[in-house]
Structure 1
Amino acid sequence: MLRRLSIMILAATLLTNSFVAQAGRIPKRKIRRMFKHLAIVNDHFTGFMLYDLDKGRSIFELNSNKYFTPASNTKLFTFYTCLNMLGDSIPGIKYSIEGDSLLFSGTGDPSFLHADLKGNNAFSFLKQQNKQLLFCTGNYQKEIFGAGWAWDDYNDYYQAEINNLPLYGNTVYFSADSSRNLSVTPAFFRSLLLRDTASKQSTFSIKRDLVSNRFYFLGAKPSSKYHQWVPFKTSDELTVKLLADTLKKPVYLSHMTLPANAKIIYNIKADSVYKLMLQTSDNFVAEQLLLVCSSVKYGYLNTDSVRQYAIDSLLNDLPDKPQWRDGSGLSRQNLFTPRSIIALLQKISAKVNDEKKLFGMLPNGGVSGTLRTAYNTDNGEPFVFAKTGSLSNNYNQSGYLVTRKGHRLAFSFMNNNYTDATHAVRDEMVRIMTLIHEKF
């Protein structure tokens, strides 16, 4: 494997030096030749499409009509759906006052008491009420995980459960201070933290029980730099307990249905939620946003309904019909083609209609998000603005590129089923996109 990787790097270096030595821009035939000789094209399944946004035409395509596992490139589909279905703010809760009671239900809003998003409007509203608080359940119609998710990732931060009223991102945050004392947020879960006496592990970590909210710590004591997010197991019963503990007042479950004219408390500006989803590739936020779309359109929370609506009404002009199974890309059942992603990128650009705003929400090569360490900037300026997507043996980038001559391009670069290290595949992609930026 090391020999093959060395050959890949040597071949890419020779090709790069050859192109840089030539004056002027890269003709399309040079891009074609570059891909023909690259090792990453020959040892796994690669798809690529480069599109000139200014001239409205394709520059180069490789397997652009073939279906690939998109991983978190899926979030671009979620993003476009939200742009069309949500306003400028995210609805936090729906409520209705009935006598001495305030009935409320969740909309799926991911920002409610979220550590980064800090959507506190709905919480403040409930805190100020002097009426009996009744949490109305029954509007969520799906499972806690998306279709095709790996069950054994339940303890990992990137696979938090999905529900109608998420609190704290549906995760518990464990961290240690300089004295190596452990902190638990929310503190509600501290009493559920137990030592795993059977473990011989020396490194400190925490693992939750599969079917309950018992958290077991392994190892003797955390380091001063220790921190870990662990998803908690959601339920309506836990929601009211956790909310009551945070509000410092009683909250009760109710099976009553909110009236059709229920009022809405908006929690946070939508752009800030989209930026977190895209830049950090937050799976939890992506999944919950589709629930918010469902709440707005249908009054109930069902992501299948939203995805089908988007496919039938918002994405029915894509070159190839997407197979879309979740909002985040955790599911390997998702299948999209590069040319459909290019069409989607055009639709996103037209919908936002503000290049600076759009590029600011996406990861910027060499500057922010999941591309911060992948690219170098050009004299301090990023030139790639794209969504990454990674699962084991799969790595993709799709987004926008601005060349030194000011050409605005869209690209989708997909790599599936490789066995080499992801960084080797990523580095080859970066070399190609950087060369296109410099010479096209």
Structure 2
Amino acid sequence: MNHKLKINVLYAIVFTVAFLHYQSFAQDTLRHQSKQQIKLPLQLLQEDIDGILDNPDFSNALIGVSVFSVETGEFLYRKNDSKNFIPASTLKLLTTAAALEYLGPDFQYTTSLYLDGKVQSNNEFVGNLIFRASGDPTFSEYFYENPMTIIDFFVNKLDSLGIKSIKGNLIADSRYFDKNYYCSGWAIDDIVYPYSAQIDALSFNDNKIDIIVKPSKKTNTLSIVNTIPPTNYVKIINNVLTVSNRESLIYPRKEFASNNIELFGTIKYDSSFKYQKRLSVSIHNPSIFFLSFIKQGLEDRNIRFKGALLNIEDIYPEFTFNELKPFCSFQSPPLKQIINVINTHSHNLVAEALLKTIGKEVTGNGSTESGLDCIKRFLSKLGIPPEKITVADGSGLSRINMIAPKYLIQLLSYMHNSKYKDVFINSLAVPGKPGTLQKRMTKSLAETNVFAKSGTLQSNSSLCGYVRSKDNQLLAFAIMIMNHTVPETLAHNLQDLICMRLAAFSNK
């Protein structure tokens, strides 16, 4: 074999070895890439959420995120999900879930009227009219187009007796609840506002009045003030001036346990006289507030009333109904409709009334503390240790509340597997529809696939619920932000971006 042939044979051997090595390397690479492709969607999801959270605007805040597949039982993402956060209104998830568990979706409240007296031959009723409450918080526009229809129901029943006058008292029996109107951890500065309205067993119009302020016909004069519904139960002290060179700024002030409301600020002049500002203010003593409208309704029907408006504990603290039967009763919507309002519109008063109702129905004690004991027992059943969280109310208004994202995930997972799954999920807010998420995540894949409860307190923002992913997988999520110093809209944007990414996720 000559030298040239030897060289050619050597090249051939080297080439063959190299080719076989490359082929083996290529096959290993393909197998490795194939394995990578299986993991890639989840890895990309995690990297994308990391990127969303790596936002300098929140460098001084604590963020906790937990994403869990309720169908496979696997966590898709976790960050600080064992740390406690202030849940704000996402705490309502605990209250409404426990209510379904203890009371059932068809539970209803009943408010009854008792006639403790008789109609005389001259068509005068002599005796007391007693309204026995059971905690119904639904006498408001959230449940009725006009809550005055409840007042009309009772007054029309009385009118049907042919009564011309009443010689006796209108009495409210609201002993179904205790008389602690507020919860631990509520701010004293908030009591003027309806979101911290007094909690009573007999409520009306969300225990608030709406004040309409209109500019007067001349600048530098006092504005015009009216209330909705019209009432003399509160006294409005109006200090709001009509001005031409400033924007409207009106704020109320009310002393504790008072119905004297002072208004301060300015309202801009409007030559068309169509401009107005509306603000809502809480009232004191909701039971008597309700009775004041019954009295007004009687007078509107020319039924003279000669008596006082009283709470039963002030005159007959040991009164029993053993020998009395209800003259008429009014029933609330079912619980499944009530929790829709709580979770979709984040209604604090209804949530707090529901918490006390749980306590009353389960233990016989209609107090916040009794309701909280029931909540803790319910959470223990889910494997959530009560000693690891703090729950101080039913609405999330208290800043004492603390819970970790992973425990909210446990709750969401439990409810998904419960017989109340559909009722619970359908009670949550949906982007683009009336409720707390109406203006969020619209025109995105998340718009029709997110069902969630939002929560907001100063420097704290949370969003928890469910999202259906692109591959039709139902995911439970909890996104909690604490101690941020940026506008709330930026916190919402961060949460919405994560939800939109989850809605676009496919693990196939």
Which TM-score band (shorter chain)?
0.7 to 0.9
Question: Which runs of structure 2 are paired with 1:125-204 in the superposition (5 Å)?
Answer: 125=154, 127-129=156-158, 133-175=170-212, 182-189=225-232, 192-196=235-239, 203=248
Q: Is the counterpart of residue 226 in structure 1 residue 277 in structure 2? A: yes
Take 2:42 and 2:405, find their aligned partners in 1: how far apart are those partners?
18
The match for 1:91 is 109
Kept after mapping to 1: 8 A contact 2:360/2:370: no
**Where in structure 2 are the equivalents of 1:421-436 lying within 5 Å?**
421-436=487-502
* Shift in CA distance, 90/183, structure 1 to aligned 2, threshold 3 Å: farther
- The equivalent residue for 1:124 is 153
Moved more, 298-307 or 381-390: 298-307
Structure-2 residue corresponding to 1:56 = 73
Which secondary structure does the structure 2 equivalent of 1:187 belong to? coil
| 51, 64, 82: which one aligns with 2:99 | 82
Give the CA deviation at 1:407.
1.0
Which region of structure 1 is more displaced relative to structure 2, 91-100 or 343-352?
A: 91-100
Residue type matched to 2:338 in 1?
V
Q: Deviations over 1:190-235 (max 9, x none)?
A: 7712223899997353514213211223346577241111111226
Give yes or no for contact 2:459–2:483 (8 Å, CA) kept in 1: yes
Q: Once the 2 structures are TM-superposed, how far is the Cα of residue 64 of structure 1 from its aligned partner?
A: 1.6
Q: TM-score, normalised by structure 2?
A: 0.72
Deviation of 1:177 after TM superposition, in Å, equals 7.5
Residue type matched to 2:366 in 1?
Answer: L
Structure-2 separation of matches of 1:64 and 1:301: 34
- Listed as ranges, the gaps of 5+ residues in structure 2 are 1-35, 119-127, 217-222
Q: CA deviation at 1:98?
A: 5.1
Which of 291-300 and 416-425 deviates more? 291-300
1:384-403 equivalences under 5 Å are: 384-403=450-469
- Tell me the distance in 2 between the aligned counterparts of 1:411 and 1:274: 20
The structural deviation recorded for 1:399 is 0.1
Change over 3 Å in CA distance of 1:134–1:27 after alignment to 2: same
Cα distance, 1:197–1:434 mapped onto 2, change above 3 Å: closer
Cα distance in 2 between the residues matched to 1:395 and 1:380: 19
**What's the offset of the Cα at 1:425?**
2.3
CA, structure 1 residues 220+410, in 2 after alignment: closer, same or farther (shift >3 Å)?
closer
Shift of 1:346: 2.1
Matched with 1:28 is: 42
Partner of residue 390, structure 2:
323
Determine helix, strand or coil for the equivalent of 2:332.
strand
The Cα offsets for residues 75-97 of structure 1, whole Å up to 9 and x where unpaired, read as 10111122123341431425656
| Partner Cα separation in structure 2 for residue 60 and residue 221 of structure 1 | 50
CA distance in structure 2 between the aligned counterparts of 1:240 and 1:407, rounded to whole angstroms? 52
Equivalent residue number for residue 12 of structure 1: none
In the TM superposition, what whole-angstrom CA distance separates every residue of 1:71-122 from its partner, at most 9, and x where no partner exists?
Answer: 000110111122123341431425656554554322221112x122126558
Of the two, which has the highest radius of gyration? 2
* 1:110 counterpart = 2:137: yes
Displacement of 1:259 after TM fit?
4.2
Structure 1 alignment gaps of length 5 or more: 1-21
What's 2:263 paired with?
217
Note if contact 1:69-1:332 (Cα within 8 Å) is conserved in structure 2: yes
Q: 1:207 to 1:25 in 2, by over 3 A?
A: farther
Describe how 1:10-49 pairs up with structure 2 within 5 A: 27-37=41-51, 38-40=53-55, 42-49=59-66
